[in-house]
Structure 1
Amino acid sequence: MSKESLIAAKELKRLQSYPVQFERFMKSHVSRLLKSNLVAVLAELQRQNLVFLSLKLYDAVRKEIWYRPDMFFYTDMLMMLARNKKVDEAKRVWEDLKQEEVLFDQHTFGDIIRAFLDNGLPSEAMDIYDEMRRSPKSPLSLPYRVILKGLIPYPELRKKVKDDFLELFPDMVVYDPLEDLFKHQERRRESEED
C-alpha cells in the first residue's frame, strides 16, 4: 500500500463514528485516490473485516469511471461478508453482481459456497449453490467435492448436492468420511442440547 492509501485507511477508521466528517473525507480525499490506491484501501479494509468501511469503499469503487465489473472484486466482498455473517449485505452484493452480469467460474462458486458453509450460513450457501447449478459454465467435479466436504455438518443438504454430483459425474465416487459425519452430528446434537 502507498503512503496515501495507508493514510486514507487510517482516517476512514478514525472518522467512521462521525458521519459528517466521514462523508466529507470520502468526497475530498477518497474520491481523488488513484485506482490502485482505492482498490488497495478496499482490500485492506476487507482484510481487517471492517464491514461498514468495506461497503462504503465498495460503493465508491463502483461509481468510478474506470470501474468494470469483475469476478474477483465481487468474490473478495462476498468472502469478507461471509466471514462476518452479514447476510443482508451479501444479498445486496449478489444482486449487484447479477445486475452487472458477472459470471463466476465453477471454482469460485465452490470457494464462495464453502466460505458461507464454514461460517455457519448453510441456507445462504445453498442459495448460491442454486445459482451455480443454473450457471451456463460447464460443471467441474472439484468444486462439488469442496462443497460436499463443507456440507458434512449438514447431512440433509449434503445428500442433495451428492445426488446432483452423481448425476453430473456418474463415473465418480463420493467419499463419505463416516467418522467425520458422526463427529459433526454428535457435536451438533450436543450444541442443540446446550
Structure 2
Amino acid sequence: MINFKFSRLGFCENPQISTFIHTPRIVCGLRNGPRKPMWRKRVLSTEAIQAVQSLKLAHNSSKLEHVFSTKVCRLLKDDLLDTLAELQRQNELDLALKVFDFVRKEVWYAPDLSLFNQMIMMLGKNKMVEMAERLFVELRNEGLEPDTRTFTEMIGAYFKVEKVSKAMDTYELMKASGCDPDKLALTILIRNLEKAGEGTLSAVVKKECAKYFDYPQKFIEEVERKYPRRKSVVLL
C-alpha cells in the first residue's frame, strides 16, 4: 500500500510517483468569466513553486533580498508572471506588491493593463484604497488608459471601505472616459448602494441599465434575486 503525501500546492511528494495530482479550485463570479477546462490551465513550474515558497519563508528584508537575487531574478518571464499570479491567489499582498514592482523593472516588461487590474483588485480586497489609487495614477504614467475592468475594481475598492461618494465619482468617470459599465460593474453598484441604504442612487443606476442592456429589467431582477435586500426588523 502506497501512502500519499501532498504539498500545499497539490503536488504528490511520494518519490515513487512521477506525476502530480492537482486538486481543482472552483471560483465563481462575473469577474472571472467562463472557466476553461482545468487540464488547459498552466501548471506552475518547479522554479516558480520554489520562488513562491522561498518568498513566503523569508521573514525579514535581508532574506527577501537574498531570495530575489538568487531565485526570483533567474525566473523566465512566464515563470515570474506565474509567481506573481500565485501570490495574488494566496492573497500574499506584500509579497505580490514586491514581485509586481520587480516585474515592472525587467528588460522585457511592456506596460500591461491586466497586471495593474489584478493588483488593484487585490488591493481593494484588502482595503488598501490609497495604494490602489496610486496604481490607478501610475498606469497612466506608463501610457495606459483604464478600461471598464480598471474602473470596476476601483469602484469595488471604494465600497469595501464604505466610500460611496468616491465609488459614484468613479462610476461617472468611467462613463465620461467612454467605458461602458458591464454587468459586473452595475451589479457591484446596485448591490452595494442598496446595502448602504442609498436607495435613490441605486434607482438611478438601475434606470441607466437600459442604456447598456437589451433586457435591463431581467438583469435587475437577477441581481435582486441573487442579492436580496435585507429586511429591517421592527422591535415592538
What's the TM-score bracket when you normalise by the shorter of the two chains? 0.7 to 0.9
What is the TM-score normalised by the length of structure 2? 0.63
Residues 23 and 146 (structure 1), Cα distance of their counterparts in 2 relative to 1, 3 Å cut:
same
User: Which amino acid counterpart does residue 202 of structure 2 have in structure 1?
Assistant: R
| Partner of residue 191, structure 2 | 150
What secondary structure is seen at the aligned counterpart in 2 of 1:132?
Answer: helix
How far off is 1:90 after superposition? 1.2
Partner of residue 126 from structure 2, selected from 54, 79, 84 = 84
How far off is 1:114 after superposition? 6.1
Partner of residue 81 from structure 2, selected from 34, 39, 53 = 39
How far off is 1:21 after superposition? 1.8
How far off is 1:113 after superposition? 4.9
| Partner of residue 96, structure 1 | 138
- Is the CA contact 1:110–1:146 (under 8 Å) kept in the aligned structure 2? no
Identity %: 31
What is the TM-score normalised by the length of structure 1? 0.75
Partner of residue 112 from structure 1, selected from 129, 145, 153 = 153
Q: Does 1:63 align with 2:111?
A: no
The structure whose Rg is larger is 2
- Is the CA contact 1:117–1:150 (under 8 Å) kept in the aligned structure 2? no
Q: Structure 2 matches for 1:1-194, cutoff 5 A?
A: 1-15=44-58, 17-106=59-148, 108-109=149-150, 111-113=152-154, 115-116=156-157, 119-123=160-164, 125-137=167-179, 139-140=180-181, 142=183, 145-151=186-192, 152-154=194-196, 155=198, 157-159=201-203, 161-162=205-206, 175=220, 177=224, 180-181=228-229, 183=230, 186=232
What secondary structure is seen at the aligned counterpart in 2 of 1:58?
Answer: helix
How far off is 1:162 after superposition? 4.4
User: Which has a greater percent of helix?
Assistant: 1
* Greater RCO, CA 8 A, separation 6+: 1
Distance 2:141 2:201 in 1: 28
- Is the CA contact 2:87–2:95 (under 8 Å) kept in the aligned structure 1? yes
How many pairs align? 182
